[in-house]
Amino acid sequence: MDSTVLNQLFRQLFRHPACQSLRSPSSLAGRQPNSLRLSRQPCRPFLTRRSPAKRKNVDDGMLWNRRDENRKDIMEDWDSCPLVTAKELRHFRERPRQVKMLTREFIDDSLYNPHYGYFSKHATIFTPGEPFDFNNIDDGPTFHRMLQDRYTEFEDQLDVIKPDIARQLWHTPTELFRPYYGETIARYLVSNYKLTLYPYHDLIIYEMGAGNGTMMINILDFIRDTDYEVYQRTKFKIIEISPALADLQMKNLMESANAAGHLDHIEIINQSIFDWDTYVHSPCFFLALEVIDNFSHDAIRYDRKTQQAQQSGVLIDAQGEFHEYYSAQIDPVASRFLRVRQTAARRGFPTPLGPRFLRGVRSSLPLQKPYTLPEYIPTRLMQFFDVLDTYFPGHRLVASDFSTLPDAIPGINAPVVQTRYKRRTVPVTTPFVHQGYFDIFFPTDFNVIEDLYRAITGKLTQVTSHEDFVHRWAYIEDTETRNGENPLLTWYKNASMLMTV
C-alpha cells in the first residue's frame, strides 16, 4: 500500500475516539510473534480510556456497543450479513465487508490471513547482524543503546530497498541472544531426551512458528558440536503457517555454509498447526516458544444481576466499519472452554464478576454498570492442545510466553493492540482495527492453561519462570556484561515456561 493511502488510513484511524492514543517515544517497541516483551523497555505512555459505550437492547436480543451509528441501518446489515470464520476467509484477497465474525475469528483473520494478515504480509523480523559480545559490553543500558543503533541501521537498509512507513518490525529472543538462547533450549532437550528416550528412540523436535529459523540452526549446531551421536539421530521439523517465512527459513539455511550441513536433519512444513491431520506415533518434543500470545481469544462479559455470559462478535458493514455486539448465545467452542476450565481448575482464577461473596453487593450498588468488562479466554490455545492430544500423543511440550503485559486494553487477560507507523509504536484500545496492520497479543495465565493442558492431554506438567529456567539450563556467563548485569535474565521478568514432564 502506498504512502498516500496509508496516511489517509491513519488519519481516519486517529479521528476515531476508540483508537486515539499517545505516540510512544520509542522506536524500538516492535512486535515479536515468537518473542517475549522486554520487561525493561522504555516506559510506554498510558492509553487513553475508552469512552463509556452505550448499550441498548434491540428486538433480536443483541446488545450493541454503539458508535453514533443508525440502529436501523445496523439491524438491516445484521439480517443480511452471514456469520463467517477465518478459515472461510482464507482465500479472500480483500478484507471482508457485510459479514459477522466472532472475536476469535476476527483476530485470527487479522493476524493470519494469507493475503492481508499481519504475519503474512506486513511483519519483518529484525536481525541484529553479528551476535552481541555481552562480556565486552559495559552494562545493560549500553546493550540497549547498541540494540537501538542496530535497529536503526537495519531499518535504514530496508528503506533503501523498499521504503515503508508502516513496516511492522519485531524481534525474537532467539535473535537478540544468538546463539545462547537456542543453546539453552538445546541443553534442556538433549538432557531430557537422554534421560527418557535414548537409545530406543530418535530425538524428534517440532517447532511451531520458527521466525527466521535461527532457533533450529542454533539447536542443531549445539547438538552436532557437543554430542555427535545424538545429532545423527536428531530430526528437526518446523511447522510454519506463513509461506514467506517458510521460504526465508530455507533460504537462511542454504546461505549459511555452516548450517547447510543440517539439511538431512530438517523438514519445513508450510502449514497451520490447526490444519494438521497426520498422526505422529513417535515420541517427540514440541516447541511453542513465544507464539501462543498470538493465538486468538474469545471475549466474554457477564450480566451483573443474572451472571449470564455473553459472547462478543463484530459486524463489518458495507463501508468496512466495525460494530461490536454481544450475544447471550455462546458458541460451542467458547462454551466448552468455560466448562473445562471450571472442571479442571485446581486453583482460583480471575473473573470479571469478582469474588462470589461480593457479587450480590456489587450488583446492587448505585451507578454500577449492568455488564462487566470482558474477559478474553484462550479458545484457540485449547484447540491447539486438542491437536497435540489427537495427533501427537507422545509429545512433550515446551512452551514459553508472557504472563503479564503492560498497556493492555480494558478487560481480564486483555491483549495489547498496537502497530508501527513511521518507526513509532501506536497502541490502540480495541482489537477491532484494520486487519493486517495491527499486532494483537495476549498475556497467558499459566495456572489456567496448565490445568487446561492436563485435562485435555492427561500429561503431567511443570510451570516455572523464564528466569528460573534460564538459570538452570543456560551458561549465564555467556550473556553477562562487565558490571555483572545479565540481559537474558532481566529482560524476561514477565515470562513463564510450561513443560511436559
Taking only the tens place, the pLDDT of each residue in 354-385 is 776 565 555 565 667 889 999 999 999 999 99
Alpha carbon separation from 450 to 9, 341, 426, 460 (Å, rounded)? 41, 10, 33, 9
Longest pairwise C-alpha distance within the chain: 71
15 has a pLDDT exceeding 80: no
- Is position 242 within any domain? no
Mean pLDDT, rounded, for 141-168: 92
Q: Of 105-109, 241-245, 311-315, 464-468, give the lowest mean pLDDT range.
A: 241-245
Instruction: State the Cα–Cα distance between residues 140 and 137, nearest whole angstrom.
Output: 8
State the pLDDT at residue 170.
82
Domain count, the chain: 1
Find out whether 330 and 309 touch, Cβ atoms under 8 Å: yes
Going by pLDDT thresholds of 50, 70 and 90, the confidence category of residue 59 is very low
- Is position 298 within any domain? yes
Going by pLDDT thresholds of 50, 70 and 90, the confidence category of residue 333 is very high
- Residue 136 DSSP symbol: G
Mean pLDDT, rounded, for 70-97: 84
DSSP string, 244-313: HHHHHHHHHHHH-TTTGGGGGGEEEEES-GGG------S-EEEEEES-GGGS--EEEEEBTTT--EEEEE
- Is position 327 within any domain? yes
Going by pLDDT thresholds of 50, 70 and 90, the confidence category of residue 49 is very low
The reported pTM is: 0.86
Find out whether 399 and 289 touch, Cβ atoms under 8 Å: yes
Instruction: State the Cα–Cα distance between residues 215 and 234, nearest whole angstrom.
Output: 15
Mean pLDDT, rounded, for 462-482: 96
- The most confident of 20-29, 120-129, 420-429, by mean pLDDT: 420-429
Mean pLDDT of the chain: 85
Q: Of 16-25, 106-115, 127-136, give the lowest mean pLDDT range.
A: 16-25
211 has a pLDDT exceeding 80: yes
Going by pLDDT thresholds of 50, 70 and 90, the confidence category of residue 56 is very low
- Is position 173 within any domain? no
Find out whether 102 and 432 touch, Cβ atoms under 8 Å: no
- Is position 226 within any domain? no
- Please give the radius of gyration of the chain, using alpha carbons only, rounded to the nearest integer: 23
Mean pLDDT, rounded, for 305-318: 94
Instruction: State the Cα–Cα distance between residues 396 and 207, nearest whole angstrom.
Output: 12
State the pLDDT at residue 441.
96
For residue 225, count other CB atoms closer than 10 A to its CB. 11
State the pLDDT at residue 255.
82
Instruction: State the Cα–Cα distance between residues 429 and 409, nearest whole angstrom.
Output: 5
End-to-end CA distance of the chain: 47
Structural domain of residue 302, as residue ranges? Answer: 3-123+294-441
55 has a pLDDT exceeding 50: no
Mean pLDDT, rounded, for 468-493: 94
37 has a pLDDT exceeding 70: no
Q: Of 45-54, 115-124, 258-267, give the lowest mean pLDDT range.
A: 45-54
What is the tens place of the pLDDT at every residue in 254-295? 887 677 789 999 999 999 999 999 999 999 999 999 999 999
State the pLDDT at residue 361.
58
Going by pLDDT thresholds of 50, 70 and 90, the confidence category of residue 6 is very low
Q: Pairing mode, if any, of strands 234-240 and 203-208?
A: parallel
133 has a pLDDT exceeding 50: yes
1 has a pLDDT exceeding 50: no
